[in-house]
C-alpha cells in the first residue's frame, strides 16, 4: 500500500509539471503540439512487471515492445514500476458553460489521453494454481486491485489481471477452474478480465493473443468515451454552446483516431471545423480560433491524404488560409501572424510530401514545393516584421500596453486552453522571438522547396528565384561561401532569361560575398557586371569607385569594401586579400566575359562579306571594342585566337603590338585589325575566331586579369558578345565570324578542241596544250583525262596513248616543268564502245571529258616560302554519234508489218541504212541469220559495197526468209555486220566492224497455212480462177470445216462448205471460178476454217491467212477483148501474182497501180 501511495504522489507532481510545460509551449501560437502529429496509439499500462530483477518478466516485456510489425495491434505499452510512472487521477469537473467561456481545448488534453490516461490497466502477478501461498497471494492481489481502482476513481479504464504461471494448464482442469472463480470473486473482477500467461517456449504466441485481447478492451473503452461525448453534445444548444460543440466534436474525432476509425474521425473533425467558423471572431478570441482551426486543419488534411483525396485536402487548406489570412488580434505581434501562416503552409507541405512518398502522383503545377516556398516567404516576412518591431521598440511597447489594458477583462492570469493569451504573453513572445533563428528556418524551407522543384524541368525559373532567396538567407546567417555559390548558380540562367530585376538584386550581395571571401575571379566578374548601365549601379560615384577597385586589384592592391559593411567583416576580408596578394607567384584571374553582361561591347568579323578566303592571300579580321565604363580602361594587349577546322592543334593567336597598349575611352568605339594568311593545309576547311581576350595588368604584377569572350557561343552572322540584354554597336556591313578557305586559284590555260564529233567504234586523235600563266615556275605538272561524272554517255569512253592500246578508263600524262608564259602539248586517242543494238542506235549521246591538271608552285608570303598545290578542272563536251542508223522490220508477202512470225510461212526482212552528219564509207555488209530462220533466195548485198553515206543518203535491202522453228521468247532474226570507216582521214584509216541486231520478234507455230493464187485484176462479167492451197504443217491429221462467205460483188462456183481432212504434212487445193458483178475494189470471198478445238480455231484466225489477198481490182467490161483472151490474161496474171507482190515489196512497198495493156488481135 505504501508503494502505491508513493506512485500516486509521483502522478500528481508529473501532472503539474506537464501543465506548466505545456503552458510555456502554448506561448508560441505557430507551433503544433507534438501530440497532434504523433501516431494515435491506444495506451496500455502494465503493472507488476519487474524487468530488472525477473528474467521471466523481462521476456514478457520484450515480447510486447519489440518487433512491432504492421499486422500487430496499434498499442502503446507503458511499463509502470514501483519507483516511477506517469498516471493521472480524475480532476474535479467544472460546469460546462463556465468551461465554455474559458476556452475550447485544454493544453494538455491530447497529451493526457495519449500518455497518461490508459484505456486498459494490466496487473501482472506470479501465481500458480498449486501455489502453497495461495491465500496470501490472493489477499495481496485483491489489495492491489482495490488500490488501483481507488487511484483511478472517476475514470473507467479496463482493469485486467494476468497470472504468470510456470506451466500450461488445461481448460478441463477442475482445480484451475475453481481457483479462477475464487480469484475473480475475491478481486471483484470479471472472468473475461482474467488471463493466464504460461512460461513456455511459445511465449511470443501467447503474448500476441494477449495483445489482441487488450486491443479489444481498449476499443470498448474508447467506444464508451465516444458514447459519453455524444450524450453530452446532444444536450447542447449549438447557438449558445458553440465552443463546447467544437470541443466535443474534436474529442470525438480524437477518440475515433485512437479506435483507428479514420472515416469517423474525419467526419467529427469536419463538424468541429464547421462549427468553429460559425463562432464570431472577436478580438479576444481570434488567436484561439486560429490555433484550434490550425489543429483541425492538420487533422483533416492528414486524413484526406490518408484516404487518397488530395484534391479535397488542398481545397480545405486553401479555404482555411483564405478565412484566417487577415484575422489578427491586438494580443498578437505582427510577426506572430506571419509565423502562424508559415507554419500552416509548412505542415501542409510536410503532409503533402509524405503522401507523395507514399505514391501520390503530382504535376509541375501542384506539388509540395509551392507550399514550402510560401512557408519560406512568410518566414522571411516574419523576420522582417520582427526586425521592424525591434527598431521601433518604444512604440511597440506602448502599443502592447494599450492592447493589454483593453483586453485585461477578457483574459485570465492562468492559461489552460490552447490559443489563449495572458497579459504578459505579447511581451514574452517578443523576447522569445529574438532567440529564434529565422534564417535557418527559411533556409530549411527553401531547400525543401528546391528538392521538389528539381523534379520538374519546366520549373526552371522557380528554381532560380529560390536560389536567389536562399542566397539572401545565407548572407543573413553569415554563410558567405554558400551564399556566393547560390548567387553564381542563379545568375547564369537569369542572365540568359534577361530577368534584369533578379540579376540586379543578386549582384550587390554576391559582390559582398566575393569581397569578403577574397575571390578575385568572381569579384572582377561581378564588378564588370555592376558597371553595366543596363541594370547595374546607377550612381556615378559608386561606378567610379567600382572601376578603381578593379584597377587597384590589377595593380596588386586590396579593393575597398562596400559602404555599409560592418567592421568585423571588413577586417576579415582585408586579411584574406593580403594573404592572397603577399604570395610570391602571380595570380591569374581569367574571367569568362562572354557569360556575363559586362560593361564592354565586343563586335567583329572577317572582312569578307562572301565568307571566303584564298590560300596565301591576306584576310583581315576586324574587331571593335566599345567601353561603357565611367573612366578610361588601360589594356595591356588584345588577343584573338583562330582555329582551322575543329582541330585545336591547328590554332594560333594574334596579338596587338606590345608598344600599342590600347586605352579604352568611355563611350568610344576602338577598331583593331588582325591579318591572317591561310596556309595550303587549311584549304577546303574553315577558319574561325574561337576567343577574344582583353589583358589587364602586367604579367609581372601580382594580379593579371584576362577577359575572354567565347565566339563559338554566338550564332549570328555579325556576332556580338557581352551586353546580352542590349543591342550591340553594328558594323557598317555584317561580317561573318567564320570563313571558308578556298585553294589557291590556278593560273593555267588549256587549249583544246570543244564540240567535236566521235563516231562510236573509231579511235579519234585528240590534242591538248597547256600554258603557264603564273608569275613563278611550276613543277610536277600532271594531266589526267577521264570521263566526266556529268557525262550522259550510254557507252564507256576509253583512252590510249596509241591506236593499239586504246582501252583505258583514264589517262595520265606527265608534262615537263614550265616557266612563266611557256607551253606544253600532248596527244592521245579516244574511242567509244562499238557493239550496239537496234534500240540504242537511235539515241542521242552527249559524253564529256574531264581534264584535271595539277601542279606545284612556290610563292613568297610575308618573307616565307609557301608551297601551294593547284588544281585546274576543264570539262570538254563532244558529240558521240553512230556512224549510220540501221532500221529493220518484218512483213508478209502482202506487205503487212508483223511482230510475230509463223513457222513455214514466207516473210520479207527489210533493212534500211541511213547516214548521219559525218560522211562514212561502208565497205561491205554481211547478214547472219539465226538458226530458227532460213533464207529463201540468197542475196549478194552489192548495195553496200564501197558506198559513201551521209545525212542526205540512205540505202535499202530486202530478202525473203522462212521460219523453221518456234521460240519461247523474242529472238533476233539476224545480225548485220558492216565494215566501215570515216570518209575523211582525220581519224585512223583502219577498218571498223560494227554489228547490229535486226528484228526481235516471236516465232509461233500454226497447224494450217493457207496460200492463194489470184490474178492482179479482174474484168466485170468475165470469170477468173482463184486457187487456195491449204497446207498441214504438223505431224498429225487435222480435220477442219471450210466455208466460203457469200458476197454481193461476186458469183462463184465450187466448194462452199465442206469438211476437210488433212494428213500429216499434206496440202489441199481448192479452186473457185469467180464472176465479178461490180467494178472497183471488191472483197474476195473469205475462206473460214473452223476446228473442234477453240485454241486451234483462234490460231487459224490469227495466223493461217496472213498471205491471202483480201481484195481485187475489178475494171469495167472492155468489148475489144475476147473472152478467151481475158481468161488467158487472168490465168497468167494469177500465176505471176506472187512474183509481182515480191517485186512490189522490193520496191519499198509503195502503193502502185499495175496497168496491163491488152494486145489487140484480129478474129
- 257-299 tens-digit pLDDT: 999 999 999 999 999 999 999 999 888 889 999 999 999 999 9
The CA distance from 525 to 541, in Å, is 19
pLDDT range class, residue 712, cuts 50, 70, 90: low
Statement: residue 108 has pLDDT above 70: yes
Mean pLDDT computed over 987-993: 71
The number of distinct structural domains making up the chain is 6
pLDDT of residue 1056: 79
Position 497 scores a pLDDT of 83
| CATH code at position 990 | 2.60.40.10
Helix (H) or strand (E) holding 929: strand 920-929
Non-local CB neighbours of 365 within 8 Å, separated by 6+ positions? none
With contact defined as beta carbons under 8 Å apart, do 851 and 874 qualify? yes
Q: How confident is the model at residue 308 (pLDDT cuts 50, 70, 90)?
A: very high
> Are 600 and 515 found together in one domain?
no
What count of other Cβ atoms lies within 10 Å of the Cβ of residue 684? 11
Residue 465 lies in a domain: yes
- All residues at 6 or more sequence positions from 103 whose CB lies less than 8 Å from its CB, including other chains: 243, 288, 416, 417, 418, 419, 420
Rounded distance between C-alpha atoms, residue 116 and residue 87, angstroms: 5
Q: What is the mean pLDDT of residues 137-146?
A: 92
Q: Is residue 319 part of a domain?
A: no
Predicted confidence at residue 792, as pLDDT, reads 64
Residue 885 DSSP SS3: strand
Q: Output the CA angle 250-315-338, nearest 5 degrees.
A: 75
What CATH number does residue 723 fall under?
2.70.50.60
The answer on 871 and 822 residing in a single domain is: yes
Least confident of 384-388, 426-430, 513-517, 635-639: 426-430
Q: How far apart are CA 85 and CA 83, in angstroms?
A: 7
Do 464 and 501 form a contact (C-beta atoms < 8 A)?
Answer: no
Q: What is the pLDDT of residue 423?
A: 60
Alpha-carbon radius of gyration of the chain:
60
Cα separations in angstroms, 850 against 745, 783, 872:
18, 10, 10
CA atoms of 870 and 886, how far apart (whole Å): 48
Q: Looking at 65-74, 80-89, 912-921, which range is the least confident one?
A: 80-89
Q: Is the per-residue pLDDT at 330 higher than 70?
A: yes
Q: How far apart are CA 690 and CA 521, in angstroms?
A: 21
Long-range contact pairs involving 802-811 (C-beta distance under 8 Å, separation at least 24): 802/829, 803/763, 803/829, 803/988, 803/990, 806/763, 806/830, 806/831, 810/784, 810/785, 810/786, 811/784, 811/785, 811/786
The predicted pLDDT at position 320 comes to 96
Q: Which residue, among 757, 763, 977, 915, has the nearest Cα to 845 in the 3D structure?
A: 757
Q: Report the b/e string of 881-895 with b at 16+ CB within 10 A.
A: bbbbbbbbebbbbee
Distances in Å between the Cα of 29 and the Cα atoms of 23, 279, 287, 393 are 11, 19, 8, 22
Separation between Cα atoms, residue 1054 and residue 413, nearest integer Å? 154
Which of 186, 207, 222 delimits the end of a domain? Answer: 222
pLDDT of residue 795: 61
pLDDT at residue 398 above 60? no
Q: Is the per-residue pLDDT at 1084 higher than 80? A: yes
What does pTM read for this prediction? 0.65
Report the pLDDT averaged over residues 832-840: 52
User: What number of residues does the chain have?
Assistant: 1163
Backbone CA torsion sign across 337, 341, 342, 344: positive
Model confidence over 1123-1153: pLDDT tens digits? Answer: 445 444 444 444 443 333 333 333 333 332 2
Among residues of the chain, what percentage have pLDDT more than 90?
31
Q: Which of 920, 912, 787, 806 is nearest to 845 (CA)?
A: 787
Q: Is there a single domain that holds both residue 727 and residue 780?
A: no
- The residue range of the domain holding 947 is 884-1004
Residues 198 and 165 sit within 8 Å (Cβ to Cβ): yes
Does residue 421 or residue 746 have the better pLDDT?
A: 746
> How far is 67 from 207, CA to CA, in rounded Å?
12
Are 735 and 758 within one domain? Answer: no
Burial, 123: exposed, middle or buried (Cβ in 10 Å; 0-12, 13-18, 19+)? Answer: buried
Compute the distance between CA of residue 598 and CA of residue 709 in angstroms, rounded to an integer. Answer: 11
* Domain assignment of residue 1125, yes or no: yes
* 3 state SS for 416-484: CECCCCCCCHHHHHHHHHHCCCHHHHHHHHHHHHHHHHCCCHHHHHHHHHHHHHHHHHHHHHCCHHHHH
Distance separating alpha carbons of residues 87 and 918, to the nearest angstrom: 130
Residue 1045's pLDDT band (cuts 50, 70, 90)? confident
User: 808 — phi, psi (to 5°)?
Assistant: -90, 145
Q: How confident is the model at residue 837 (pLDDT cuts 50, 70, 90)?
A: very low
The mean predicted confidence, pLDDT, of the chain is 82
In this prediction, residues 558-562 reach a mean pLDDT of 89
- The pLDDT score that the predictor gives to residue 185 is 92
| 3-state DSSP assignment of residue 305 | helix
Do 856 and 933 share a structural domain?
Answer: no
pLDDT for 521 equals: 92
| Contact (CB, 8 A) for 656 and 637 | yes
Give pLDDT, residue 38: 92
The average pLDDT across 1017-1021 equals 89
The pLDDT, as a whole number, for residue 392 is: 63
For 462, phi and psi rounded to 5 degrees? -65, -40
DSSP lists the bridge partners of residue 880 as 758, 845
Tell me which of 637-651, 769-783, 803-817 is least confident: 803-817
pLDDT at 1130: 47
Give 393's strand partners: none
For residues 345 and 445, give the distance between their C-alpha atoms in angstroms, rounded to a whole number.
10
Tell me how far apart the alpha carbons of residues 78 and 51 are, in angstroms, rounded to a whole number: 13
pLDDT at residue number 376: 95
More confident site: 28 or 166? 166
With a cut of 50, say whether residue 86 has pLDDT above it: no
User: Looking at the structure, do residues 787 and 889 belong to the same domain, yes or no?
Assistant: no
Residues 998 and 1029 in one domain: no
Grade residue 731 by pLDDT with cuts at 50, 70 and 90: very low
Q: Report the alpha-carbon distance of residue 433 to residue 942 in Å, rounded.
A: 130
Note whether 641 and 693 are within 8 A (CB): yes
Q: Higher model confidence: residue 699 or residue 885? A: 885
C-alpha cell at 769: 596544250
Higher per-residue confidence, 653 vs 391: 653
pLDDT attached to residue 59? 93
Mean pLDDT of 644-662: 86
- The pLDDT assigned to 520 comes to 92
Q: What is the DSSP letter of 114?
A: I
Inter-axis angle of helices 500-517 and 520-530, nearest 10: 140
Q: Per-residue confidence at 944, pLDDT binned at 50, 70, 90?
A: confident
Q: Is the pLDDT of residue 900 over 50?
A: yes
pLDDT of residue 721: 41
Cα angle 146, 148, 151; round to 5:
110
1142 is a domain residue: yes
Same domain? For 732 and 753 the reply is no
Could you tell me what percent of the chain has a pLDDT over 70?
85
Same domain, yes or no, for 26 and 156?
yes
Residues 812 and 759 in one domain: yes
CB atoms within 10 A of CB 242: 18
Q: Which of 979, 1004, 1029 is the endpoint of a domain? A: 1004
Does any domain span residue 711? yes
- In this structure, the number of other CB atoms found within 10 A of the CB of residue 999 comes to 22
Helices 438-453 and 334-357 cross at an angle (nearest 10°) of: 30
Tell whether 999 and 1060 lie within a shared domain. Answer: no
Query: Residue 710's pLDDT band (boundaries 50, 70, 90)?
Result: confident
CATH number where 96 lies: 3.40.50
380 band by pLDDT with thresholds 50, 70 and 90: very high
pLDDT exceeds cutoff 50 at 727: no
Same domain, 21 and 140: yes
Average pLDDT value for residue range 1088-1099? 82
The pLDDT of residue 424 is: 59
Q: What is the mean pLDDT of residues 129-143?
A: 91
For residue 428, being part of any structural domain is answered with no
Question: Band of the pLDDT at 207, cuts 50, 70, 90?
Answer: very high
In a domain, 65, yes or no: yes
pLDDT of residue 22 exceeding 90: no
Q: Per-residue pLDDT for 8 more than 60?
A: no
Query: Mean pLDDT over residues 629-649, rounded?
Result: 90
- Domain end point (choices 944, 977, 1004): 1004
Nearest by Cα to 546 from 566, 565, 524? 524
Closest CA to 329 of 400, 379, 384: 400
Say if 380 falls within a structural domain: no
Amino acid at each position: 500500500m505504501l508503494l502505491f501511495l508513493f506512485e500516486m504522489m509521483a502522478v500528481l507532481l508529473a501532472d503539474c509539471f506537464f501543465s506548466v510545460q505545456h503552458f510555456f509551449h502554448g506561448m508560441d501560437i505557430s507551433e503544433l503540439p507534438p501530440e497532434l502529429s504523433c501516431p494515435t496509439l491506444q495506451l496500455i499500462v502494465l503493472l507488476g512487471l519487474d524487468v530488472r530483477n525477473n528474467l521471466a518478466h523481462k521476456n514478457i516485456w520484450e515480447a510486447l515492445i519489440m518487433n512491432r510489425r504492421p499486422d500487430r495491434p496499434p498499442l502503446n505499452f507503458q511499463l509502470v514500476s514501483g519507483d516511477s510512472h506517469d498516471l493521472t487521477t480524475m480532476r474535479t469537473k467544472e460546469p460546462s458553460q463556465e468551461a465554455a467561456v474559458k476556452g475550447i481545448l485544454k493544453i494538455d488534453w491530447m497529451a493526457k489521453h495519449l500518455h497518461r490516461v490508459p484505456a486498459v490497466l494490466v496487473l501482472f502477478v506470479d501465481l500458480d494454481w498449486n501455489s502453497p501461498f495461495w491465500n496470501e497471494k490472493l489477499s495481496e492481489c485483491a489489495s492491489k486491485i482495490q488500490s488501483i481502482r481507488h487511484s483511478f476513481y472517476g475514470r473507467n479504464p479496463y482493469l485486467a489481471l494476468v497470472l504468470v504461471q510456470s506451466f500450461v494448464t488445461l481448460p478441463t482442469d477442475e482445480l484451475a477452474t475453481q481457483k479462477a472463480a475464487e480469484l475473480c470473486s475475491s478481486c471483484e473482477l470479471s472472468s473475461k478480465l482474467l488471463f493466464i500467461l504460461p512460461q513456455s517456449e511459445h511465449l511470443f504466441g501467447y503474448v500476441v493473443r494477449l495483445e489482441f485481447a487488450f486491443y479489444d478492451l481498449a476499443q470498448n473503452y474508447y467506444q464508451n468515451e465516444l458514447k459519453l461525448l455524444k450524450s453530452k453534445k446532444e444536450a447542447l444548444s449549438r447557438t449558445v454552446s458553440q465552443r463546447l460543440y467544437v470541443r466535443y466534436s474534436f474529442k470525438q474525432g480524437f477518440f475515433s483516431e485512437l479506435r483507428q476509425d479514420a472515416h469517423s474521425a474525419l467526419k467529427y473533425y469536419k463538424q468541429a471545423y464547421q462549427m468553429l467558423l460559425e463562432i464570431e471572431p472577436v478580438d479576444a478570441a481570434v488567436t484561439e480560433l486560429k490555433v484550434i482551426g490550425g489543429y483541425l486543419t492538420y487533422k483533416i488534411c492528414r486524413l484526406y491524404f490518408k484516404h487518397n483525396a488530395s484534391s479535397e485536402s488542398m481545397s480545405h487548406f486553401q479555404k482555411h488560409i483564405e478565412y484566417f489570412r487577415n484575422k489578427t488580434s491586438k494580443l498578437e505581434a505582427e510577426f506572430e501572424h506571419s509565423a502562424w501562416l508559415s507554419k500552416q503552409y509548412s505542415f501542409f507541405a510536410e503532409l503533402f510530401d509524405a503522401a507523395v512518398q507514399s505514391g501520390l502522383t503530382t504535376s509541375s503545377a501542384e506539388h509540395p514545393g509551392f507550399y514550402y516556398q510560401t512557408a519560406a516567404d512568410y518566414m522571411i516576412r516574419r523576420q522582417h516584421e520582427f526586425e521592424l518591431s525591434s527598431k521601433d521598440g518604444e512604440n511597440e511597447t506602448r502599443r502592447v500596453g494599450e492592447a493589454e489594458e483593453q483586453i485585461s477583462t477578457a483574459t485570465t492570469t492562468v492559461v489552460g486552453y490552447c490559443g489563449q493569451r495572458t497579459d504578459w504573453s505579447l511581451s514574452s513572445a517578443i523576447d522569445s522571438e529574438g532567440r529564434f533563428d529565422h534564417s535557418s528556418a527559411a533556409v530549411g524551407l527553401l531547400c525543401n522547396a528546391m528538392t521538389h522543384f528539381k523534379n520538374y524541368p519546366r520549373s526552371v525559373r522557380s528554381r532560380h528565384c529560390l536560389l536567389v532567396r536562399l542566397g539572401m538567407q545565407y548572407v543573413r546567417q553569415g554563410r558567405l561561401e554558400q551564399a556566393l555559390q547560390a548567387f553564381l548558380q542563379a545568375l547564369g540562367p537569369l542572365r540568359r532569361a534577361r530577368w534584369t530585376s533578379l540579376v540586379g538584386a543578386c549582384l550587390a550581395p554576391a559582390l559582398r560575398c566575393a569581397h569578403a571571401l577574397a575571390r578575385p575571379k568572381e569579384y572582377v566578374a561581378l564588378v564588370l557586371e555592376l558597371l553595366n548601365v543596363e541594370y547595374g549601379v546607377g550612381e556615378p560615384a559608386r561606378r567610379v569607385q567600382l572601376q578603381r577597385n578593379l584597377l587597384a586589384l590589377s595593380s596588386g592592391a586590396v579593393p575597398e569594401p562596400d559602404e555599409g559593411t560592418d567592421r568585423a567583416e571588413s577586417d576579415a576580408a582585408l586579411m584574406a586579400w593580403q594573404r592572397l596578394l603577399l604570395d610570391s607567384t602571380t595570380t591569374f584571374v581569367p574571367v569568362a566575359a562572354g557569360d556575363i553582361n559586362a560593361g564592354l561591347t565586343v563586335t567583329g568579323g572577317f572582312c569578307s562579306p562572301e565568307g571566303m578566303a584564298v590560300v596565301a592571300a591576306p584576310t583581315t579580321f576586324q574587331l571593335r571594342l566599345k567601353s561603357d565604363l565611367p573612366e578610361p580602361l588601360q589594356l595591356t594587349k588584345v588577343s584573338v585566337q583562330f582555329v582551322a577546322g575543329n582541330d585545336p592543334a591547328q590554332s594560333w593567336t594574334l596579338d596587338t603590338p606590345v608598344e600599342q597598349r590600347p586605352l579604352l575611352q568611355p563611350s568610344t568605339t576602338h577598331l583593331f585589325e588582325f591579318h591572317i594568311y591561310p596556309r595550303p593545309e587549311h584549304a577546303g576547311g574553315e577558319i574561325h575566331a574561337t576567343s577574344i581576350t582583353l589583358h589587364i595588368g602586367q604579367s609581372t604584377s601580382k594580379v593579371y586579369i584576362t577577359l575572354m569572350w567565347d565566339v563559338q557561343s554566338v550564332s549570328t552572322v555579325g556576332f556580338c558578345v557581352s551586353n546580352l540584354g542590349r543591342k550591340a554597336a553594328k558594323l557598317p556591313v555584317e561580317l561573318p565570324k567564320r570563313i571558308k578557305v578556298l585553294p589557291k586559284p590556278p593560273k593555267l590555260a588549256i587549249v583544246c578542241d570543244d564540240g567535236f564529233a566521235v563516231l562510236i567504234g573509231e579511235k579519234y586523235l585528240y590534242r591538248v596544250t597547256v600554258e603557264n600563266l603564273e608569275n613563278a615556275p611550276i613543277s610536277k605538272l600532271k594531266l589526267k583525262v577521264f570521263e566526266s561524272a556529268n557525262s550522259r554517255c550510254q557507252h564507256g569512253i576509253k583512252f590510249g596513248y596509241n591506236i593499239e592500246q586504246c582501252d583505258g578508263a583514264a589517262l595520265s600524262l606527265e608534262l615537263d616543268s614550265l616557266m612563266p608564259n611557256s607551253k606544253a602539248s600532248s596527244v592521245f586517242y579516244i574511242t567509244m564502245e562499238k557493239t550496239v543494238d537496234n534500240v540504242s542506235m537511235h539515241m542521242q549521246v552527249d559524253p564529256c571529258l574531264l581534264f584535271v591538271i595539277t601542279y606545284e608552285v612556290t610563292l613568297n608570303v610575308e618573307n616565307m616560302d609557301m608551297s601551294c598545290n593547284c588544281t585546274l578542272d576543264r570539262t570538254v563536251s563532244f558529240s558521240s554519234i553512230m556512224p549510220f542508223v540501221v532500221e529493220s522490220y518484218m512483213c508478209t508477202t502482202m506487205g503487212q508489218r508483223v511482230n510475230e512470225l509463223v513457222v513455214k510461212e514466207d516473210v520479207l526482212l527489210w533493212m534500211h541504212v541511213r547516214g548521219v552528219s559525218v560522211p562514212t564509207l561502208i565497205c561491205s555488209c554481211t547478214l547472219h541469220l539465226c538458226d530458227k530462220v532460213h533464207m529463201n533466195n540468197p542475196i549478194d548485198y552489192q548495195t553496200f559495197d564501197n558506198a559513201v553515206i551521209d545525212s542526205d543518203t540512205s540505202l535499202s535491202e530486202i530478202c525473203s526468209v522462212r521460219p523453221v522453228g518456234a521460240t519461247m521468247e523474242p529472238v533476233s532474226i539476224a545480225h548485220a555486220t558492216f565494215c566501215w570507216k570515216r570518209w575523211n582521214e582525220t581519224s585512223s584509216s583502219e577498218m571498223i566492224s560494227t554489228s547490229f541486231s535486226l528484228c526481235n520478234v516471236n516465232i509461233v507455230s500454226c497447224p494450217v497455212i493457207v496460200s492463194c493464187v489470184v490474178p492482179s485484176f479482174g474484168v466485170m462479167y468475165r470469170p477468173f480462177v482463184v486457187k487456195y492451197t491449204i497446207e498441214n504443217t504438223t505431224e498429225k491429221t487435222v480435220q477442219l470445216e471450210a466455208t466460203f462467205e457469200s458476197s454481193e460483188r461476186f458469183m462463184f462456183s465450187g466448194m462452199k462448205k465442206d469438211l476437210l481432212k488433212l494428213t500429216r504434212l499434206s496440202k489441199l487445193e481448192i479452186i473457185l471460178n469467180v464472176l465479178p458483178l461490180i467494178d472497183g475494189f471488191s472483197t474476195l470471198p473469205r475462206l473460214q476454217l473452223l476446228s473442234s478445238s477453240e485454241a486451234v480455231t483462234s490460231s487459224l484466225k490469227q495466223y493461217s491467212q496472213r498471205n491471202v489477198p483480201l481484195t481485187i481490182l475489178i475494171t469495167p467490161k472492155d468489148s475489144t477483148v475476147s473472152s478467151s483472151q481475158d481468161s488467158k490474161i487472168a490465168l497468167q496474171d494469177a500465176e505471176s501474182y506472187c512474183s509481182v507482190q515480191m517485186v512490189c515489196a522490193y520496191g519499198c512497198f509503195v502503193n502502185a497501180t499495175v496497168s496491163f495493156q491488152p494486145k489487140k488481135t484480129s478474129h
